[in-house]
Amino acid sequence: MGSSSGQSNGSYDLSFKILLIGDSGVGKSSLLVSFISASAEDLAPTIGVDFKIKLLTVGGKRLKLTIWDTAGQEKFRTLTSSYYRGAQGIILVYDVTRRETFTNLSDVWAKELELYSTNQECVKMLVGNKVDRDSERAVSREEGNTLAKELGCMFLECSSKTRENVEQCFKELALKLNFS
Ligand SMILES: Nc1nc2c(ncn2[C@@H]2O[C@H](COP(=O)(O)OP(=O)(O)OP(=O)(O)O)[C@@H](O)[C@H]2O)c(=O)[nH]1
Ligand SMILES: [Mg+2]
């Protein structure tokens, strides 16, 4: 039997590498934990990189997602940039309550991507996190939408705290990867 879609638990049809990037504190690790374990604890800043694996059935196919969570702090930049290689999906995260995390996506992160991503056809998703803090919002949904168009990304706003749109972030990306 040549197919990997057997009965055993760990089997899958396709495997994808996904990368989470964005400023420190925007909630990249929280998004990942919220997606994987449905919990929302307070996390410490990521040291370097971390990864988690999630099996997901999308469009009738079993996908294995290896999701790499990078540190946003500048001191880790050289280390984290080496993990861009070969990523098929990229999630660019900002905090809707901190405007500089949004402007840094164009000023810093999109440039990092251009420099270090080896995959020209990677699927990108722009995510505005922490929408549960709507009263402190500093970036409108329209601005997010506009930047997403500029960068050629899909776009969602979410909250890793309430889990609003968290699964959608990863599922919509996976769906697009599945058909690209
Ligand atoms: N209110 C609210 N707080 C959040 C949300 N997501 C993350 N946080 C908080 O924001 C802080 C930073 O979250 P992290 O997930 O560690 O951020 P990070 O992007 O991984 O940061 P680095 O690892 O340093 O790059 C934590 O105190 C989280 O609890 C959210 O959706 N809503
Ligand atoms: Mg982190």
Residue 2 lies in a domain: no
Residue 110 lies in a domain: yes
Ligand 1 center from residue 4 Cα (angstroms): 36
- Tokens 């939408």: give the residue: 145
Count of domains in the chain? 1
Residue 144 lies in a domain: yes
pTM equals: 0.94
Residue 7 lies in a domain: no
Domain interval for residue 32: 14-178
Residue 8 lies in a domain: no
Residue 4 lies in a domain: no
More confident call, 118 vs 98: 98
- Nearest-CA residue for ligand 1 atom 28 is 42
Q: State the CATH number of the domain containing residue 78.
A: 3.40.50.300
Of 20, 28, 30, 168, which is best to mutate to test ligand 1, by the most ligand atoms within 8 angstroms of its C-beta? 30
Using CB distances shorter than 6 Å, the residues near ligand 1 are 24-30, 42-43, 45-46, 71-73, 129-130, 132-133, 159-161
pLDDT tens-place string over residues 130-177: 999 999 999 999 999 999 999 999 999 999 999 999 999 999 999 999
Ligand 1 center from residue 43 Cα (angstroms): 7
- How much is the pLDDT for 133? 98
Query: What percent of the chain clears pLDDT 90, i.e. is strictly above it?
Result: 83
pLDDT tens-place string over residues 107-118: 999 999 999 998
